[in-house]
C-alpha cells in the first residue's frame, strides 16, 4: 500500500493533467456536462477530508516549538506574499469578481500537495508537514480581513456571510473535525489505523476527481470566460516566478538552513486553490468566473512545480 501511495504522489501532476484532459474531452463531446455542478461540493468534501487526514493535528505543538521556521513561514505567507498580491492585483481587470478570485488563491498557502513537492525538491518536508495546521488556521482567520482590506466595500457586497459561513462549516470545518477524529481513532485502535492508512491512498485520486468535475462543469461556459483566463494568466505567471524567491529570502534572512529555507520557498509559491474553491463557489454569481480564475492558477502552479523540483535543490548547500 505504501508503494501505491508513493506512486500516486510522485505521479500526481501527470494524473491531474490526465483528469483535466479527460474532462475537457467529455465536455466537448457530450452536451450537458454543466449539470455536473451538483457533484462539486460532495467531491470537494471528500477531497478535503482525506487531505486534512494527512495533516498531522497532533504535531501542532511540535510545529510551534520550531519558532524560527514557523516565523519565516508566517512572515512569508501572510506579510510578504500579500504584499506581492497587492502589487500583482494592479494587473487585474477592474472587475470585483475577477479580483476576488485572484485574491482567494494568492492569499492562501497550500496545506496538502506542497509537502510532496517540497520532498521532491529536497526541502525539509517534515517541518512543512508539521506546520500545516498552523497555516490552515491562520489563513482562514486572515482571509476575510485581507479580502476587506484589498477590495473594501466590494468584498462586503460579494462575500455574503451566510453562504460563506455555510460553505466553511460544511466543506472545511466538518471535514477537518472528522479528519481529527479519524486520526485519534487511528492512534487508539488497529482498525482505525488500517482505515486511516487506506484513506491515505485517496488524496491524489480525490483531487483528480475534483479537477475533472470542475473542468467538465466550467468548460461549456469557458467561451464566455476565456477573456478572464487571458487577463489573469500573466498575474499567475508573475506570481510563480516571484513567490519562491520571496520565500527563500525570508528563510535565509531568519538564518534557516538550506532545506528549511527551500520549504518556505515551496510554501510561498504553492497556493490552496482547491481548498478555497468551496468558499469561492459560495459567492453569489460565482459561475463561471470564479472557478475559471481559480482553476487557471492551479494549472499554472502544476506546470511551475515541474520547474521548482529541478531548480530548488540547487539553492544553497544542505
pLDDT one-digit tens code per residue, 92-136: 999 989 999 999 999 999 987 888 899 889 999 888 888 888 888
Select the highest-mean-pLDDT range: 43-57, 163-177, 199-213. Answer: 199-213
pTM of the model: 0.86
Distance CA 77, CA 135 (A): 9
The mean-pLDDT minimum among 155-164, 227-236, 273-282, 290-299 falls in 155-164
Q: Is 110 exposed, middle or buried (0-12, 13-18, 19+ CB in 10 A)?
A: buried
pLDDT score of 132: 81
Domain 2-314: which CATH number of 3.90.230.10, 3.40.50.1100, 1.10.579.10, 1.20.1530.20: 1.20.1530.20
Indicate the domain borders of the chain: 2-314
Cell 495533516 belongs to residue: 55
Distance CA 216, CA 68 (A): 43
The helix-helix angle for 203-218 and 12-29 (nearest 10°) equals 30
pLDDT one-digit tens code per residue, 12-58: 889 999 999 999 999 889 888 878 888 988 998 898 898 888 777 66
Amino acid at each position: 500500500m505504501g508503494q501505491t501511495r508513493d506512486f500516486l504522489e510522485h505521479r500526481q501532476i501527470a494524473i491531474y493533467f490526465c483528469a483535466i484532459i479527460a474532462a475537457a474531452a467529455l465536455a466537448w463531446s457530450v452536451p450537458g456536462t454543466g449539470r455536473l455542478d451538483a457533484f462539486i461540493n460532495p467531491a470537494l468534501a471528500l477531497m478535503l477530508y482525506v487531505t486534512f487526514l494527512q495533516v498531522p493535528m497532533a504535531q501542532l505543538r511540535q510545529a510551534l516549538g520550531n519558532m524560527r521556521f514557523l516565523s519565516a513561514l508566517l512572515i512569508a505567507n501572510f506579510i510578504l506574499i500579500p504584499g506581492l498580491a497587492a502589487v500583482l492585483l494592479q494587473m487585474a481587470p477592474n472587475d470585483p469578481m475577477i479580483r476576488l478570485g485572484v485574491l482567494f488563491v494568492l492569499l492562501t498557502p497550500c496545506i496538502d500537495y506542497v509537502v510532496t513537492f517540497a520532498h521532491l525538491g529536497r526541502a525539509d518536508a517534515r517541518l512543512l508537514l508539521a506546520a500545516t495546521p498552523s497555516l490552515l488556521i491562520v489563513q482562514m482567520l486572515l482571509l476575510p480581513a485581507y479580502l476587506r482590506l484589498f477590495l473594501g466595500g466590494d468584498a462586503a457586497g460579494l462575500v455574503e456571510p451566510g453562504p460563506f459561513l455555510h460553505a466553511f462549516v460544511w466543506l472545511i470545518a466538518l471535514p477537518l473535525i472528522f479528519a481529527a477524529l479519524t486520526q485519534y481513532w487511528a492512534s487508539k485502535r488497529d482498525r482505525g489505523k488500517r482505515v486511516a492508512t487506506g484513506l491515505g491512498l485517496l488524496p491524489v485520486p480525490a483531487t483528480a476527481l475534483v479537477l475533472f468535475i470542475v473542468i467538465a462543469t466550467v468548460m461549456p461556459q469557458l467561451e464566455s470566460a476565456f477573456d478572464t483566463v487571458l487577463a489573469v494568466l500573466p498575474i499567475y505567471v508573475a506570481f510563480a516566478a516571484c513567490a519562491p524567491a520571496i520565500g527563500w529570502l525570508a528563510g535565509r534572512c531568519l538564518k534557516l538552513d538550506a532545506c528549511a529555507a527551500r520549504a518556505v520557498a515551496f510554501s510561498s509559491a504553492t497556493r490552496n486553490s482547491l481548498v478555497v474553491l468551496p468558499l469561492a463557489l459560495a459567492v453569489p454569481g460565482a459561475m463561471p468566473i470564479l472557478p475559471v480564475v481559480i482553476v487557471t492558477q492551479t494549472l499554472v502552479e502544476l506546470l511551475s512545480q515541474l520547474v521548482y523540483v529541478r531548480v530548488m535543490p540547487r539553492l544553497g548547500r544542505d
